[in-house]
Structure 1
Amino acid sequence: MSRRLAPLRPLLIMSAFLLLAACSRLDLAYRNLDLIIPWWIDDYVSLDASQRNWLEPRLQKHLAWHCSTQLPEYVAWLEQSLELSRRRQLSPADLRGQFGQVRGAIRRIAVEITPTVQDLAESLTPRQMGELYVALDERDAELREEHVEPPLKQQIEERAQRMRERVEDWFGPLRSSQRARIDAWARGQGDYNRIWAENREAWQQELRRTLYGRHTADFPRRVTALLQQPEDFWTPAYRQAYRASEAALAELLADLFNSADATQRNALRARIREMVADLKGLACYPG
């Protein structure tokens, strides 16, 4: 997982991290979020002692809220996924419903942390703002070098490899026909990397304009919109590509599941049950 995530949205990744990532020790990672999140922030801006002292109790409050109210939702999501995995066949529509629940989880976190993000942003000094902008530019350059500048053929090959690794973490070894299906999906995504990078940079430009006016009366409204309705700032190209990409992913996962043999389906169910046990075993989990 990349070290440099957007500094003003560090808690937003928790939902996707818990619901989608194939972490071998989910419980260990979650227990250390109070250390990991400040580390991510430090990758972009160095907070002074007073800012750190101010942030710490708010971070603990957010984490307590997340554990007591959101983890049961994730367990319910996983248990629903387990029920789906017992079907003989899945449709893309079944999986798109699951995707929608992930988006809802991310949005709930955005709403929870917005006041803290607003107050932290208002406390940034001009020096810290400069540090933030330099870090954003450096990270954008790294992402473009890694994901956009290579020839399209290489991008597609790397995209397919990443997906094969993710799927194998859930299903175990894939058959040649399943690997070929992933390869076809990767080709179908085409120039998605460039569209994604341009959209990310467009959102950041709006972030910069919003932070420049962080001491104006309109700042709370603008930062709330950036965090809670990021899709309102998508580029037209990304809006179209995102819809197509989500539909293609649902079709891919449905095809992979429907082609899975008994061993692969058992591996999938065992992986889901392992994640449920990890979450329920956390000390902060309700009950």
Structure 2
Amino acid sequence: MLGCTRIDVAYRNLDVLVPWSLSDYLDMNRQQKAWLDQRLKQHLAWHCRTQLPEYLTWLDAVRSMVASNEVSDQQLLVRSQEAKLAIAKVADQITPSAAELLRGMSDDQVQELRQAFAKDIRERQDKYVKTPLAKQIDERSQRMEKRLSTWLGELNAQQRLRVVNWSQALGEQNRQWISNRAHWQAQFSKAMEQRQSPAFEPRLEVLLKDRERLWTPEYRIAYQHTEQQARSLLVDLMAQSSPTQRQYLEGRLSKVRADFSALKCLKG
């Protein structure tokens, strides 16, 4: 589900909320890797101790919505905003560490990062933009149906049609998404050129925590439309859901909660 995915990202992929997954873009030396591993452990421990209890409360609110079969646009908007705030807290916590790591990058590493960014955009354009729009819509429908089946089980014919209609409504959203991604990467590369400047960390904070300030005007419009369409899709799918699907979803949510509750850092 929309919010569940965000919460999952906020915890399980803490290391990729920022450009810490540098191994995907460049080769770090042994000292950098060791520093990163140690600092990441500290942040994960902080995250589990201080943030995870709030996520358990958030999951309970989601489960209550499903159990009462009262999933509305307003409720989803509130849950989504809560998830965004959770991710912002993580970005705020790790920005100083990210700045320290990135300041230590050599000129060669920064150049390598810039080249990797360019490759990333080319590959995404080939995969998501340069294909015919009809194929983009079909592939987007398939990806969404696969994600939804993880939470609801197999979709019925009415639900599958609703997913297709959702994908059609997004149109060429892929183009705005990738264009905005390229814009952010360009801003990040520009900041890296000034990484020894006192202004670097404040700029990095904007790049990591307040990305919306850097969105292109086209993407800002597309994002609002995409978010609204996603909530509308989930409201309709739940209205079309069977008791078996809702029971399946409750079971999935309960398992996520149990997995989080069982973490040793919470017990400590």
Which of 55, 60, 82 aligns to 1:101? It is 82
Pairing of 1:104-119 with structure 2 (within 5 A): 104-119=85-100
Cα distance in 2 between the residues matched to 1:161 and 1:17 = 23
Match of 1:76, SS state, is: helix
Query: Which residue does the alignment assign to 2:204?
Result: 223
Amino acid at match of 2:155: L
Deviating above 3 A after TM superposition, structure 1's stretches of 4 or more consecutive aligned residues are 37-40
Q: Which amino acid aligns with 1:113?
A: I
SS in 1 for 2:265: coil
| Aligned-partner Cα distance in 1 for 2:231–2:26 | 37
The equivalent of 2:25 in structure 1 is 44
Is contact 1:199–1:235 with CA below 8 Å preserved after alignment? Answer: yes
Q: Deviations over 1:211-250 (max 9, x none)?
A: 1111122212211111111100000011011111111111
Contact 1:45/1:132 (8 A) holds in 2: yes
Question: What SS does the corresponding residue of 2:131 show, helix, strand or coil?
Answer: coil
| Alignment match of 1:18 (pick from 8, 19, 27) | 8
Measured in 1, the distance between the counterparts of 2:28 and 2:135 equals 39
Secondary structure at 2:198's aligned position in 1? coil
For 1:112, give the aligned amino acid: Q
CA separation in 2, counterparts of 1:38 and 1:182? Answer: 32
Structure 1 residues 45-124: aligned runs within 5 Å: 45-124=26-105
The 3-state SS of whatever aligns with 1:284 is helix
Q: Which residue of 2 aligns with 1:10?
A: none
* Whole-Å separation in 2 of the counterparts to 1:182 and 1:276: 27
The total of aligned residue pairs comes to: 263
> In the TM superposition, what is the alpha-carbon distance from 1:257 to its structure 2 partner?
0.6
Q: What are structure 2's unaligned runs of at least 5 residues?
A: none
- The answer as to 2:260 corresponding to 1:279 is yes
Contact 1:210 1:223 in 2 (8 A): yes
1:252 aligns with 2:242: no
- Counterpart of 1:176, as a letter, is A
Supply the distance in 2 between the matched residues of 1:278 and 1:80 (Cα, whole angstroms): 17
Identify which of 165, 179, 186 aligns with 1:184: 165
1:4 is aligned to none
Summarize deviations over 1:252-277 as a string: whole Å, max 9, x none: 10111111111111001001001111
CA distance in 1, matches of 2:258, 2:65: 18
Counterpart-to-counterpart distance in 2, 1:56 and 1:256: 41
Letter in 2 for 1:135: A
Please give the per-residue CA displacement for 1:128-170, whole angstroms capped at 9, x wherever unaligned: 1111111111111111111111111000001111111111111
What is the alpha-carbon root mean square deviation over aligned residues?
2.2
Give the % identical residues: 36
Q: Distance in 2 between matches of 1:111 and 1:83?
A: 30
Moved more, 50-59 or 198-207: 50-59
Q: Which of the residues 242, 249, 252 maps onto 1:261?
A: 242
What does residue 146 of structure 2 align with? 165
- State the Cα distance separating 1:19 from its structure 2 match: 5.9
| Whole-angstrom CA distance in 2 between matches of 1:249 and 1:84 | 17
Partners of 1:271 and 1:216 in 2: CA distance? 47
Structure 2 distance, partners of 1:38, 1:47, is 13
Alignment pair present for 1:125 and 2:106: yes
Tell whether 2:198 aligns with 1:237. Answer: no
CA offsets, 1:61-98, max 9 Å, x none?
A: 10101111122222211111000002233221111111
Q: What is the alpha-carbon distance in structure 2 between the residues aligned to residue 126 and residue 66 of structure 1?
A: 32
Distance 1:175 1:221 in 2: 49
Q: C-alpha distance in 2, partners of 1:83/1:217?
A: 47
Corresponding residue number in structure 1 for 2:179:
198
Aligned pair in 2 of structure 1 residues 38, 211: CA closer, same or farther (>3 Å)?
A: closer
